[in-house]
Structure 1
Amino acid sequence: MLKKIFLNHFLLILLPVIIIYYLIFSIYTHDKKTETLRFIKQVNIQSMENIDNYVKDMKVLTMHPLYDNDILELLYEKNFGDSALTTGSKGFDFNDRALLSVTLNEILAFNKNIYSVFIFNLNGTNEYRMVDSKLDPAYNPSQEDWFKEANELKGSAVVGNSFRFSNWNAPRGKDFYMFSVTRAIKEIKSGGSMGLISIDSDIDIIRNIIKKMKSFDEERILLLDDNGFIVYDTNETNITKSIGDKSFDLNEIHNLNLQASQSSMQVLNKKSLVDVEFSKETTWKLVSILPEAALFSKIKAIQTRLLTLIIIFVLLSLLLSIVTSYNITKPLKRLIKTMRVVENGDLTIRFTVMHKDEIGRLGHGFNNMINKIDQLVSIVYSTELRKKEAEMNALQSQINPHFMYNTLESIRMTAELNDDTVTAKMTLILGKLLRYSINPKDRLVTIGDEIEHLKNYIMLQNFRFKDKFELIIEMDQELIDIPIIKLIFQPIIENAIFHGLETMIGKGEIKITGYQAENKTIFLIEDNGIGMTAEQLEKLNDPDVTEIHSGDASRGIGLKNVNERIKLHYGEIYGIKITSEQGKGTTVSLELPDKFTMNIVQL
């Protein structure tokens, strides 16, 4: 028997734990992965938007000279004036540079990440402003691809890829990367280009945005253009390379479909999740590569700790099971031994009760049985049966309400321990209803207490009828604390449910409205039920009818009883009145004294 109990305990403990562990961890892992991927994608989208916003600001800055007539006239004269037509486009003299320097300084001061600003003539002659540096030797990019491309676009901004600028003297003291936004300055009449404005930004702005977006240390983030040029890489040795270069350390990305939003691939022999976000302002795309091992590292740590706790729990449970099984079987074996002695005819032996548990009660009952065997032989069965029934009735009549409350609370706690939340909640509500109804000490309560009791009652009915009923309270706040005799509203609500709302199709509504009017306190209880016939209504309102019931005795106090209690306690001029129309619901009007009178009326 000991082995059976131990085996049952073992299976009851271990199997549910394994199943629950598997289900919970599977769900947790899936939800955590989904949540993390959603977070990473949202961060990537936001980071791409931040980069786009910065590029957009640079594009706006390149339009600054287009609204300066002095600069436009200067560039026109240098490219299309009389002297330019005979001798060609000329460079800028001292006065020209003074004029251009105002705009250049304004743009340079706009953002700390702007490193240099250039305004070029068509022949490449330029005026510029640069942070902590100057050009050496003279810089003329008129034959470079980006210069030609910007001229050909005639006014559209060109966003260049990252580069190292080598044509300066006295740099910052370290290598750093830049990217530029260039725009052609158009001649208004012909639409032709008169020169260029180019703004160079330190790549540090992109570095900071990407640094903030990294959610994992192992995450690799690249900013690529549509030709595979690496604008930025968290491994900064790859900046300005192409993903097709042999020296690039992520050759697998070259074959990846970078048009897809999210995908999975092997990167450096690690299964990784790849997210791609596209720029709206440039040809760039932001590529995030996260090894799945990094994603699940924290989850695995939690899994290990949880598994350790489960093993400890199972071992402790098994130890407790062994001790419990032994404590159960030992007194049972003693009881069986005693029974065998009795079977042999020895009625003098008794079982020694050591504990007041189930085995103890069983042993005590066994002893009582032996004591009564001789009596049962001489007592007529029917007489003994009546005696037992009388004893049972006597015991039932002595049941204390507190015993009932405690029993309901025990049932509720057992239901909660078994995760039966519905039963636990129903038992809790039933206990509140019984405590409120049975307690003889609180015959005078507040209207707020009555309303709370009604809410519990409706909640319990909704468990039975699947949320069929809705209780609506519209009451002056000043009425909440007014004292009133107990159980005035519930019989009316009970009558509305069982005779008006239970059989109707659709949602049943009960509305209680309370207010002060003409030295009275009025409560209207309205329902949208099936109503009643004129004959039924006349019978309910007839004072000569001696028995007006809301149903059988189990359904509550009769309406007649409520009416008589009101008249007895507050006076004959108060009570209830009922109005109804078949198919349109019923209204019960409850008239009581004004709040001042009710505050001084005592039981």
Structure 2
Amino acid sequence: MSRLHIALSSLRSKVILIFFAMLIVPFLLFAYYTHVKAIEGISNANTSVSHSFLIQARQNFEIYLSRLNDQLNDLIGNKQLQDLLEKPPSGLEEERAFTVNMLTFLNQQSSAVDAFRVHLYPLPPGSYGDYMYTIGASDILNQEKWFRLAMNTISPLWHLSMPSNGRYAKPLLTYSKRFTGLYDRDPRAIISADISEDQLRRYFSPSGNIAGQKLLLLDENGQVIYDSSANEWTGEPEIAERFNILTAGTEISETLVIDGQKYLASRLKLDSQPWYLVSLSPLSELTGSIDEINRLMLIFLVAYLLCCVGVVIYLTSQFTQPIVRLVQLMRKAEKGHFHHQSAWSHRNDEVGWLYRGFISLTTQIETLIEEASRAEWKKKELEFQVLSHQINPHFLYNTLESIRWKAETLGRSDISEMVAALGNLLRLSLNQGKEITTLRREIEQLKAYVQIEQARMGQNIRILYSIEPELLSLPFLRLLLQPLVENAIQHSIRDNFEQGKILISAYRVKDDIVIDIIDNGNGIPKETLDKLHLDIRKEALQSTGTKGVGLRNVNERLALYFGDAYRLQIQSSSDSGTTITLKHPVMKMENPQLNQESPESAAVL
């Protein structure tokens, strides 16, 4: 008894009981009368309008199918595609090259096909293992019925797929056809075009004049291959059995009962395909006898108005006033007044739950405010610690400056110059903790490094700079050039400082800064260069030993910041030395203070 009392005392139960007594019972009687009159008053005009609409939709869709077929034929006749499929690859390298070239071609050409996406499956698929694996069709494709049929016939095929996962987990209608070479009859591949529900909706959307109207596309077996109502019936076998009546003749109008609802079905057969276009209009929406219904509606409205007056009085006293009081308490809470213990309510319905929830919420807000205050205090303590740690680099700069001054005092200019270069290198490398510097500062850091290396090795390093002046002020990712020049010194010209030289050139190509680091040394060993050309993100750090670490680091940072298009390009041979090309996008200057150094000349020796 106690549970029944609590259920009946809830706001939802009260509303259900009140509106059931006032609305549901009268509406049941009214709905029965309306239903009978609607069946009697179905308008022939609706059938005529639906039929005209289907004719127009069929014409538009037939045009689309013809255009899609022409677009695929144009793609099949493309000489580049035919050349790629002329013969199967003979090795792993050719397979990889084929995969890259084919995917690039499809990516460029598929935009000309009015379809959701385009697939191409070379024949035989076993000779293109790398490509089939890349597109995710290596294991299951040969087992699918549609693929086996497409391999054995030259006629285009249609099939419906119902993907349950992936980026597009919705039904897809696929058009597939096998094609041969332009000058022979050897099967080359199967091309498929997926048509999504968004594309079908352009041709098969209900007119919108009738609520609940559906537009279906059926195949010759009565299976639904498109449903305008979010594909509710698409691909359902049990639904296909109910539409068997619609698979005879070219034009038909029938009354169907589906899931307990009656529909007026208008059907039209397509010319180019054995498909049927069906319009389903709920009979409950096609009512007649408007005058009689209006008279009954007037009587109902008078009775409904009287009932509503009583409902308003009851709702105002039982629900509106308590909610208004709760709103007032919430407004006080907005001003910071959270102590409202008097707001507690012992009601067992939703209003009582709102009051108790409000008190619980204000209590949690007070707790969160206290926690936020403590967190803010901790944040200030951490900020103070960060400011304190910033003193350490300045201390190091001052120490290096003192060493340089003492070296000059003792007449050791070589030590003074080396310490000055080290301090400058440290200052430019730290860059105040920022990743972005300018090309000018990057060049200065490089010169400081070269100066230190010359002093350390006791050898003169011949390095030339050819830099367009307007590039010096552009933003540049720090610590890119020094590792590359270090690699050139250590692995290319170190054994021959007298003849070895390095050229640094920087120029702009469209929206990129292009920098070439060229040396005339012995070049990078072939095995190291081959490993560097692999995707370094998948290579273990020790894969190339100690050689190439700087190159991989720069390559990794460029790809991480700007994408794979900005990876290093390396050309090396034992005869002509090594050329490393670095591309860096032109970025907008966010901190003008980085560009306050004096300008440098275009070519500096």
TM-score, with length taken from structure 1: 0.37
The structure number with the bigger radius of gyration is 1
TM-score, with length taken from structure 2: 0.37
Higher relative CO (Cα under 8 Å, sequence separation at least 6) belongs to 2
